[in-house]
Amino acid sequence: MIAIVDYGMGNLRSVQKALQKLGYEAEITSDPEAVRRADKVILPGVGAFGAAMENLRRAGLDRAIRECIESGKPFLGICLGLQLLFDYSEETWTAERERGLGILRGRVVRFPEGLRDSQGNLLKVPHIGWNALHIVRQDTLFNGVAEGSHVYFVHSYYPEPEDEQVVLARSDYGVHFCCAVQHANIRAVQFHPEKSSAVGLRILRNFAESGA
């Protein structure tokens, strides 16, 4: 069974429906024990970094996520679920720097103002829409996914990993930013596979069929 972690933020049902369409059992749960029992875990999310971490801690889901990752279970972070894996975010929710799960070294930063595309057009933040996926290194998550495939983004922040070896893919939005990572049994993407048509479904299938 695949557990989709419910901490009160994000369009969880769309992730569940995409997996069910592919024929996989997926349960939306806010119960830490159900997360621990799952065969695979997905951490989705949309919204504020600080509020998300507070909700995870309050429910004891932060500990359950760490234990699942430490046990070697396949883990997939989506959008905010990618950002939460890192040490901290520049997104301000309190007066202090927002601390993440700290499972991957690095920080989460905001797109700078004044970004322009290759034609010189001013780019809006948040970044909303389809962008090309530039695969840095191959991984089972991208089996059957062609270089340059388009995926769907909705975000104002993106990760800057300390270790470049964890970067799986990048995309361009005025800057060349990290949009997918992998370390051991952890895989995470900044884009929304559940909203990325056939390419996204292929990525979700790859995760659902993967081992560690």
Contact 5, 29 (CB under 8 A): yes
pLDDT of residue 212: 61
CATH code of residue 204: 3.40.50.880
How many domains is the chain partitioned into structurally?
A: 1
With 0-12 CB in 10 A as exposed, 13-18 as middle and 19+ as buried, what is 95?
exposed
Residue 24 belongs to domain spanning: 2-208
Which of 90, 91, 194, 209 is the catalytic position? 194
At residue 118 the predicted structure's pLDDT band, cuts being 50, 70 and 90, is confident
- In 3D space, the residue among 115, 186, 189, 98 whose CA is nearest the CA of residue 145 turns out to be 189
Predicted confidence (pLDDT) per residue in 169-211, tens digit? 999 999 999 999 999 999 999 999 999 999 999 999 999 998 7
What's the confidence (pLDDT) of residue 94? 60
Q: Which tens digit of pLDDT belongs to each residue from 77-92?
A: 999 999 999 999 998 7
Is 79 in the active site?
Answer: yes
pLDDT of residue 10: 78
> Percent of the chain at pLDDT above 70?
98
Is 192 catalytic? The answer is yes
194 as an active site residue: the answer is: yes
